[in-house]
């Protein structure tokens, strides 16, 4: 969860500017009910942990706004006025494969503080708000990148285009002009975020009508638009791959400035596909069935109670309607049956509101969790072990008894790590991630062993021996299954050690020696030394492999110590070995 450090002096100044008081005691005692955790407070600031589903609480201004409606019962409007601006922005067609979505707005006349200290704190707070949104909504700038600029020295219309990397400008914290390629290799921010720019597709660039660089997203802004303590008029640009997250981020930055008296102006943005986008901050209408609220809350609150609670959460109940399709709504379970429903407006910048259930959550929080009735469950179901849990428990006990420590690794991986480096062959169709966050995690694994090699590699500087195992999920032919694998890096690791682990495990599970078959594994397939690998079968059915790891494979992981390992398929073991608890 992101942690936000809020300055008491800024909160007090923002509330005072909006004609309200700031009560520290109320904040400390009641803020946790909104969906945040108060980590601590002193005379200068308050540390607050915000849950990931509430990015609208990541700034001084938006937190102050939420507190007024929740703590002081002062309704906050669901809509913020946006006037039609004269500026335009054009996104060139080549941006489709570079950074396709771009949006912008202008905010003028922002109150930044009454003293130089407050104005300096405002600038710091604005930058911190940006970075918090980059981390949460932006997935570390990959999905969303935000730029905030002093608009006084630039002129529209603005252009978002792709460059070959030779264009140069003076970046923030730069000592002189640098080309886009130079920034990626020599500027601290360029080095940190260079992996987000596909240089083969082009370098994204935002310029004004005179060719002055506004931003090199998602890396860094130009020094010509640097925000200072004298800035009061701002251009906000947001680019990225996730359209919904980009728009949400733009609205949250604009909202925070609106809380300081800023007047929001739209910028007409012509997208790469020729469509036009203009900012609006109109609320979103939700049909919330009464039956859904009563089912989740455990009681049926009155209409007045629902209206008051949703007002505390920044929304507004505008009436009671029906969920039938003729009324423009749908039932919460996807059916079209007509039933009574509250018509509730929620702010469009609440990116976490995706379904009527999310509105019900806000209703319950607004009512107060301590106000919910205490009810005992009407269902009494005795617990029972799930299928395969007994075998999993016995597998873990057996391998632990041999001195191995259990680890848990990611199911996400990539082709290089999963197949190329360990010399493994796909066991079936590979499940790929449609929109991976990083290239390192773009498929789902089919083997556990490569993940264990990564763990050994990460711990190669620690004292030997290293004995680890994992019983985890794999995905073959788009179907979840599981395997158990072990890998031991130690001085005397060899085929005999691998066989000792494998045979000990199988016998602990009740394998009959007469049913057990061992044949030499195919040379060149897998990470094994030829001739020191065995394919294992029970009653003629293949269940797994164990052996000694080829030093050529070990070296590719930075390991220079003997390793023995093995991997067995849990589904095969379950079907072939009897469970002593059931037989």
Is residue 431 located within the same domain as residue 559? yes
Terminal alpha carbon distance of the chain: 47
582 in any annotated domain = no
Pair (476, 563) in one structural domain: yes
Query: Using CA atoms, how far apart are residues 280 and 488, in angstroms rounded to an integer?
Result: 59
Instruction: Looking at the structure, tell me whether residues 418 and 510 fall in a common domain.
Output: yes
Give a yes or no: residue 183 inside a domain: yes
Same domain, 116 and 226: yes
- What is the rounded distance in angstroms from the CA atom of residue 11 to the CA atom of residue 118? 11
State the DSSP H helix or E strand holding residue 36, giving kind and residue range, or none if neither: strand 36-41
Residue pLDDT tens, the chain, 583 long: 678 888 888 888 888 888 887 777 766 666 666 667 777 778 888 888 888 888 888 999 998 888 888 877 777 888 899 999 999 999 999 999 999 999 999 999 999 988 899 999 999 999 999 999 999 889 899 999 999 999 999 998 999 999 999 999 999 988 899 999 999 999 999 999 999 999 999 999 999 999 999 999 999 999 999 999 999 999 999 999 999 999 999 999 999 999 999 999 999 999 999 999 999 999 999 988 888 888 888 888 999 999 999 998 899 999 888 776 544 445 555 555 678 889 999 999 998 898 889 999 999 988 887 777 787 777 777 777 777 788 899 999 999 999 999 999 999 999 999 999 999 999 999 999 987 877 889 999 999 999 999 999 999 889 999 999 999 999 999 999 999 999 999 988 899 999 999 999 999 999 988 899 999 998 889 999 999 999 999 999 999 999 999 999 999 999 999 999 999 999 999 999 877 665 5
Instruction: Specify whether 291 is located in the same domain as 307.
Output: yes
d(CA 499, CA 159): 65
Is 379 among the domain residues?
no
Give residue 349's domain range: 284-370
46 occurs within a structural domain: yes
Q: Are residues 89 and 124 in the same domain?
A: yes
- Strands 101-108, 276-277: parallel, antiparallel or unpaired by DSSP? unpaired
Q: What contacts 261, CB < 8 A, 6 or more positions away?
A: 17, 109, 110, 111
161 belongs to a structural domain: yes
Nearest to 36 by CA among 23, 24, 46, 22: 46
List of residues 6+ apart from 378 with CB closer than 8 A:
none
134 with 45, same domain: the answer is no
Phi/psi at 372 (nearest 5 deg)?
A: -70, 145
Distance, in Å, from the CA atom of 265 to the CA atom of 267, rounded to the nearest integer, reads: 7
Cis peptide bond N-terminal to 218, omega within 30: yes
**How far is the C-alpha of 341 from the C-alpha of 435, rounded, in Å?**
36
d(CA 459, CA 453): 10
Which structure tokens are listed for 266?
Answer: 């739209």
* Geometric angle at alpha carbon 527, from 525 and 576, rounded to 5°: 70
Interior CA angle at 437 toward 434 and 442, to 5°? Answer: 50
Q: Tell me: do 270 and 401 sit in the same domain.
A: no
Q: What is the pLDDT of residues 368-399, one digit of tens each?
A: 877 777 877 777 777 777 777 888 999 999 99
Radius of gyration of the chain, Cα coordinates, nearest whole angstrom: 30
Q: Is residue 383 part of a domain?
A: no
**Boundary-marking domain end, from 277, 310, 344:** 277
Specify if 63 maps to a domain.
Answer: yes
Secondary structure (3-state) at 142: coil
Q: Whole-prediction pTM value?
A: 0.69
Same-domain status, 458 and 549 = yes
Contact in structure between 136 and 180 (CB atoms under 8 Å): no
Residue 492: the pLDDT is: 85
Among residues 222, 257, 277, the one where a domain terminates is 277
Alpha helices in 166-299 (DSSP H): 180-186, 188-193, 243-258, 290-297
249 CB contacts (<8 Å, ≥6 apart)? Answer: 55, 133, 137, 138, 144, 146, 238
DSSP notation for 492-513 = T-SHHHHHHHHHHHHHHTT--G
Length of the chain: 583
* Residues 431 and 553 both lie in one domain: yes
Residue that the structure tokens 């260079």 belong to: 194
Residue-level pLDDT at 41: 78
Closest CA to 197 of 240, 139, 257, 230: 240
For residue 205, give both structure tokens.
Answer: 């660039």
Residue 5 bridge partners (DSSP)? 47
Asked if residue 301 belongs to a domain, the reply is yes
Tokens of 244: 């919904």
Spatial separation of the C-alpha atoms in residues 358 and 335, rounded to whole Å:
18
For residue 414, the Cα-to-chain-centroid distance in whole angstroms is 19
Number of domains in the chain: 4
Nearest to residue 468, comparing CAs of 400, 548, 558, 520?
400
580 CB-contact burial (10 Å; exposed 0-12 / middle 13-18 / buried 19+): exposed
Q: What is the pLDDT of residues 15-71, one digit of tens each?
A: 888 888 777 776 666 666 666 777 777 888 888 888 888 888 899 999 888 888 887
Residues 483 and 552 in one domain: yes
Counting DSSP H helices and E strands in the chain, the numbers are: 16, 29
**pLDDT at residue number 26:** 67
Q: Which residues contact 313 (CB under 8 A, 6 or more apart)?
A: 34, 69, 70, 362, 363, 365, 366
| Whether residue 448 is found in the same domain as residue 567 | yes
* Segments in 378-512 forming alpha helices (H): 389-401, 415, 449-458, 495-508
CATH number for the domain spanning 319: value is: 3.30.56.10
Domain boundary among 370, 401, 422: 370
* pLDDT at site 327: 46
Check: CB of residue 199 under 8 Å from CB of residue 189: no
What was the pLDDT predicted at 548?
A: 96
Count the helix, strand and coil residues of the chain and give each as a percent rounded to the nearest 5: 35, 25, 40
Closest CA to 285 of 252, 336, 330: 330
pLDDT at 326: 47
399: CATH: 3.30.930.10
């Amino acid at each position: 969860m992101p942690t936000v450090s809020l300055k008491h002096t800024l909160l007090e100044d923002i509330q005072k500017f909006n004609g309200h008081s700031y009560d520290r005691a109320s904040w400390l005692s009641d803020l946790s009910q909104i969906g945040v955790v108060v980590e601590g407070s002193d005379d200068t600031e308050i540390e607050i942990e915000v849950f990931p589903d509430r990015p609208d609480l990541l700034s001084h201004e938006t937190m102050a706004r939420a507190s007024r409606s929740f703590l002081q019962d002062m309704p906050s409007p669901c809509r913020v006025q946006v006037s039609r601006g004269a500026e335009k922005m054009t996104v060139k067609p080549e941006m489709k494969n570079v950074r396709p979505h771009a949006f912008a707005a202008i905010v003028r006349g922002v109150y930044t503080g009454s003293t130089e200290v407050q104005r300096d704190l405002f600038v710091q707070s604005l930058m911190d708000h940006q970075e918090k949104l980059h981390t949460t909504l932006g997935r570390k700038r990959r999905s969303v990148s935000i730029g905030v600029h002093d608009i006084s020295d630039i002129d529209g219309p603005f252009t978002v285009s792709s460059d070959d990397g030779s264009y140069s400008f003076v970046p923030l914290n730069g000592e002189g002009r640098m080309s886009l390629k130079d920034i990626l290799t020599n500027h601290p921010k360029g080095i940190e975020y260079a992996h987000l720019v596909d240089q083969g597709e082009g370098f994204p660039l935002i310029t004004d009508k005179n060719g002055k660089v506004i931003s090199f997203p998602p890396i860094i802004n130009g020094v010509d638009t640097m925000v200072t303590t004298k800035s009061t008029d701002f251009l906000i640009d947001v680019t990225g791959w996730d359209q919904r997250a980009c728009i949400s981020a733009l609205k949250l930055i604009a909202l925070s400035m609106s809380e300081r008296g800023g007047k929001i102006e739209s910028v007409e943005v012509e997208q790469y596909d020729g469509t036009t986008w203009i900012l609006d901050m109109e609320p979103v209408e939700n049909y919330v069935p009464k039956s859904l609220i009563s089912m989740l809350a455990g009681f049926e609150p009155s209409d007045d109670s629902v209206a008051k609670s949703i007002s505390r959460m920044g929304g507004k109940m505008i009436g009671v309607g029906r969920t039938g399709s003729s009324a423009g709504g749908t039932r919460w379970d996807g059916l079209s049956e007509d039933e009574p429903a509250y018509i509730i407006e929620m702010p469009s910048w609440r990116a976490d509101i995706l379904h009527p259930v999310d509105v019900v959550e806000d209703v319950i929080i607004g009512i107060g969790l301590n106000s919910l009735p205490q009810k005992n469950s009407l269902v009494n179901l005795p617990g029972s072990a799930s299928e395969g849990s007994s075998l999993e428990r016995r597998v873990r006990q057996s391998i632990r008894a041999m001195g191995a420590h259990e680890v848990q690794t990611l199911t996400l991986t990539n082709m290089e790590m999963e197949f190329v480096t360990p010399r493994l062959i796909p066991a079936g169709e590979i499940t790929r991630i449609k929109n991976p966050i990083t290239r390192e995690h773009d498929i789902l694994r089919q083997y556990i062993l490569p993940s264990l090699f990564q763990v050994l590699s990460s711990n190669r500087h620690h004292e030997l021996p290293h004995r680890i195992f994992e019983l985890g999920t794999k995905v073959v032919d788009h179907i979840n299954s599981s395997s158990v694998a072990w890998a031991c890096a130690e001085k005397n690791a060899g085929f005999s050690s691998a066989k000792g682990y494998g045979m000990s495990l199988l016998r602990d599970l009740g394998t009959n020696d007469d049913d057990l078959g061992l044949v030499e594994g195919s040379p060149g397939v897998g990470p094994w030394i030829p001739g020191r690998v065995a394919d294992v079968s029970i009653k003629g059915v293949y269940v797994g492999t164990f052996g000694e790891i080829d030093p050529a494979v070990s070296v590719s992981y930075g390991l220079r110590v003997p390793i023995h390992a093995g991997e067995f398929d849990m589904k095969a073991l379950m079907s072939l070995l009897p469970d002593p608890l059931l037989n």
